[in-house]
Structures are given as C-alpha cells and as structure tokens.
Amino acid sequence: MDETVAEFFKRTILKIPMTEMMTILKAWDFLSEKQLQNVNFQQRKESLVQDLVLLCEKRASVHDAALLDIVYTQFHRHRKVWDVFQMSKGPGEDIDLFDMEQFKSSFKKILQRALKNVMVSFRDAEENAVWIRIAWGTQYRKPNQYKPVYVVYYSQTPYAFTSSCPLRSNIPLLGQALTVASNHHKIVKMDLRSRYLDSLKAIVFKQYNQTFETYNSTTPLQEKSLELDIHMDSRIIHENRIEKERVQRVTQETFGDYSQPRLEFAQYKLETKFKSDFNGDILAERKEPLRCLIKFSSPHLLEALKSLAPAGIADAPLSPLLTCIPNKGMNYFKIKDK
Amino acid sequence: MSVLRPLDKQPGLNTATILLVGTEDALLQQLADAMLKEDCASELKIHLARSLPLPSDVNRPRIDLIMFVVNLHSKYSLQNVEESLRHVDATFFLGKVGFLAMGAGQESHCSIHRNTVTKLANTYRSPVFFCDLEESQVTRFFRGQAPAHTTDANRTRLSPWPVPDTCPPGP
C-alpha cells in the first residue's frame, strides 16, 4: 500500500474515539468478524491503530479509507457545519424515476470531466439518502484527503446538505453536478446553516412539529399543574397568575409542545434607514441605509427563544422575525426597507 | 388607576406581607423560598408580582414592604421596575420600599450599570441591595455596594431594618 494511503488510514483511524472503535469498524464492514476478533482492543490507541493499519494494508485501497472516513463523519456529523441547497425542476418537466446508480455515475463523471484529480466516494444511507465524499485535487496534484466535502442527498426530495467547503471556487461545480445528475434544472442555496444535520432535516422536511404517537397529549398538562402545586408554598402568592397563563398559552401556540430543532445561531443583516423619534437627529438625515448585523447565538437557539417569555426576559408574543425561523427554514435574514 | 398605599388597610394580626416585584419569576420564587426558610417573629407572606399595578379584583392583605427586583443583565427588568414605581403612593417610600439588584457578580453580563440602580434608589430615598443567588440557596447581601470579590472574608451581614411590626427581609 502506498505510504500516503497508509498515512490516510492511520489518521482516519486515530480520529475515532476508543469507545466507538468497534461500532465504527463494524459499520465500515471491511474487516471481517474473525479479523476483528483477533485484534486486541485493550491495548493503547497508538498500537491498536498500527495493528489495524497492518490488517488493512493487504487489500485496502484509498477508496476503502474514504468509506471509513464517511462512516466516521456519519457518527460525528455535528463536527461539520452544514449548508442546505434546494433544487428545482424546470417548468413542465416530468418527474423522472430516480435511479441511484445512474445518479452516482453521472455525478462522478461531471466532476471528473471538469477537474482531473478528484475522488468521489458514495455510501448509501436510510431514507433513500446517499452520503457523498469529495476530495478535491488539481490538474497537477492528487486529491487532498484531509479537506473533503460531504454532500448528503435525499433522492426523493429536492434537498441536499453540504459540509462547508474550504475551496469556495468548487461550490458552483458541485451544485452543477448535483443538479444535472439528479435531473433538476436549478439549484439555490438556502439561508439555513447549522451543525445539526438532523435538525436541518427536520426543518426542511417539516418534520419538527410532530409529537410522538405514544405520548398522551393530556398528561403533560397535568404534570405542569402538579409541578406548580408542589412548589407553591401557601405563603407565596402569585399576583399575576393570569398574565403568566397568557404567556404560557402564547408560547405554546407559537412554539408548540414538541422539542425544537437545534440551531446555533440566527443572523440578521439590516440595511434599513435609521428611524428616530427625535427631530433633527443626524443619523436620521442620512439617505443611505444603516448597515448593521445582529447575531443571536445559543447552544440551542430555538429552545432559548421559547423560554424567553416564560422566564420574564421578553414580552410574549416574540417578534415574528424570531419565531418564523423553523417555518421559513431560514436563519440568515436580510432586512431592507420596503 | 390603582395605586398601592401603605396604610389603606388594617394590619393583619402578627402577620407581615412582603411584595416582590420583578420580571423574572424564577428569581422571585427562589428569593421567596430563601426568605421563608428564615425565622421570622411574625407570620410571613410573600406576594410575587411581575409588575404593578396589581390586579384590582383580589382581596389581599396590607402590604408592609415592597422590594423591586432588578436583574442587572436585563434592561427589560429595569424598564419594568421604573414603570411599576409609578403605581406606588409616595408615602410608601418612607421606609417601606427597597431595591434588589441581582447579577452584579457577573460583570461581563451586566447591561445596566450599578450606578443606574443606585441613582434610582436615591431618587426614591430607598436603600438598594446588591446580591446574587447561588445554587446552595445561600444569598449574600451587600448593603449599598456591589461585591468586587465575593469571598467569605468580604461578606457583610445585613443590618436589620428599622421598620416596626415587620421582620427584616432575608438572612
């Protein structure tokens, strides 16, 4: 095996935490049960990696290493930041039957025709999805295996999710390849980005507002009122109970009872004229719009927004600019004067 | 316009009623729980309100003490207190009102300067206490001054309020 390939294997296996080693290797499905049994998983990581690389050396290729990298990324999808692309068919085009193999070969061909050195790997996933790994090279350089781009395409939908591409110039080519290979006409990047691929999926496929079927919808209400009773010392009297209930109701109407999809930020780019109550304010006299960027960050933005009004930090109802995020499927906004 | 007046009702027998006004319900609840744990000469009742005026259709006892709770991390809470102050009769400020400013310990999160609250308290001739609530339910009070380094050595005990027939708030 080539030195560079061996190095690629070593670095890929080293990334895997010891606790997940067995799971990921099994998912990779390259080493047989027998081979895995013969490996000592109790030794130190460096020696384990060496043993595994030796095992792979005999018949593994760079493509197998790429597949292992895909498996690792599937288990650690939150380490990448995902963008969302939406494709559309031209007007009057029929919905063709989708052929996965044809898509894969077409996608690969388009990229290879444009760039001489590019390595494309595929791994099928559930829900008719395919994970695509692309390692970019140039005319004179072999593909760089350490800066790949991942694309997750759900074939029954017009949506594809891509990890952020370090080589910006390749994005249009990637979009073109996706569009043509999947028999679409146009591709557009949505203003939606997050680390949490499953949350992006939930937003884009409108699956976030489904409550679980086994969950009895009457029990949470009972639990809530019980909670209030347990904490209520009879010596503590809440004066604004009606207002509190109104806030709870409005919050529930806006956000629902289900858990929110997970986003880390919402960004608002304002290009509006400055509005001021004072007459003769210098800023209000400007003809050009004031540029301003507002960013809300949180480990779980939508849950944080949901808890603002009940916590007494903001008025209910919240601004529709904040509450429209899952509905509109956007967390990047450009606000201009009408 | 319902305005709170200090002497418009008869006092309850051996009872003291404290009104906490602030936007953050969880904070008020924690404060109230901590206060009730302490010994008090009278029977203590604590009313929690988000803002004033209070709902007028409720029969409530005479309020002996109002504490306005401001979270220094939230301009919204200061705005709320400023608006609520308008619904309190002037005679209340003769020793029956105080201000609690929370969150001074986390300087980087403060969007209201400590002096703003101090000035507000001075305008209304009422004391201001800076405090923070901790997990262990121990509330540390520093009268009139924000804690610079909150070590045990710097902790000062709160002196009792010179208000008759009611018990002092907090430990």
Tell me the CATH number at B21: 3.40.50.300
Does A295 have pLDDT greater than 90? yes
Residues B13-64 have pLDDT tens digits of: 888 899 999 999 888 998 898 888 888 888 899 999 998 888 887 788 889 9
Burial A185-197 (b: 16+ CB within 10 A, else e): eebeebebbbbbb
The answer to the question of residue B51 being in a domain is yes
Contact B48 A239 (CB under 8 A): yes
- Smallest Cβ–Cβ distance between A235 and the set B45, B60, B77 belongs to B45
HEC-encoded secondary structure of chain A: CCHHHHHHHHHHHHHCCHHHHHHHHHHHCCCCHHHHHCCCCCCCHHHHHHHHHHHHHCCCCHHHHHHHHHHHHHHCHHHCCEEEEEEECCCCCCCCCCCHHHHHHHHHHHHHHHCCCEEEEEEEECCCEEEEEEEECCCCCCCCCCCCEEEEEECCCCEEEEECCCCHHHHHHHHHHHHHHCCCCEEEEEEEEECCHHHHHHHHCCCCCCCCCCCCCHHHHHHHHHHHHHHCCCCEEECCHHHHHHHHHHHHHHHCCCCCCCCCEEEEEEEECCCCCCCCCCHHHCCCCEEEEEEEECCCHHHHHHHHHHHCCCCCCCCHHHHCHHHHCCCEEEEECC
Contact A240 B55 (CB under 8 A): yes
Residues of chain B found within 8 Å of residue A236, distances taken between Cβ atoms:
29, 32-33, 36, 45-48
Provide the pairing of β-strand A129-136 with A118-125: antiparallel
Length of chain A: 338
Burial A160-182 (b: 16+ CB within 10 A, else e): bbbbebeeeebbebbbebbbbbb
Query: Distance between CA atoms of B56 and A323, rounded to whole angstroms?
Result: 33
The answer to the question of residue B118 being in a domain is yes
* Predicted model pTM: 0.77
The answer to the question of residue B171 being in a domain is no
Domain count, chain B: 1
The answer to the question of residue B100 being in a domain is yes
The answer to the question of residue B6 being in a domain is no
The answer to the question of residue B156 being in a domain is no
Residues A74-100 have pLDDT tens digits of: 999 999 999 999 999 887 776 777 889
Give how far Cα A155 sits from Cα of A104, A110, B140, Å. 11, 18, 60
Give how far Cα A2 sits from Cα of A70, A292, B68, B157, Å. 21, 52, 73, 74
Residues A115-169 have pLDDT tens digits of: 888 999 999 998 889 999 999 988 888 888 999 999 999 988 999 999 987 777 8
- Mutation target vs B (from A235, A244, A315; most B CBs, 10 A cutoff): A235
Contact B50 A244 (CB under 8 A): yes
- Mutation target vs A (from B18, B19, B23; most A CBs, 10 A cutoff): B23
The answer to the question of residue B85 being in a domain is yes
What part of B 48-87 touches A (C-beta under 8 Å)?
48-51, 54-55, 58, 60, 74, 76-77
What ipTM did this prediction achieve?
0.71
Contact present, B134 and B148 (Cβ < 8 Å): no
Query: Distance between CA atoms of B83 and B29, rounded to whole angstroms?
Result: 21
The answer to the question of residue B10 being in a domain is no
Contact present, B130 and B142 (Cβ < 8 Å): yes
- Mutation target vs B (from A228, A233, A239, A307; most B CBs, 10 A cutoff): A239
Q: A–B: how many Cβ contacts below 8 A?
A: 59
Query: Which residue range forms the structural domain that includes residue B136?
Result: 15-143
Give the pLDDT confidence score for residue A313 in this predicted structure. 87
Contact B32 A312 (CB under 8 A): no
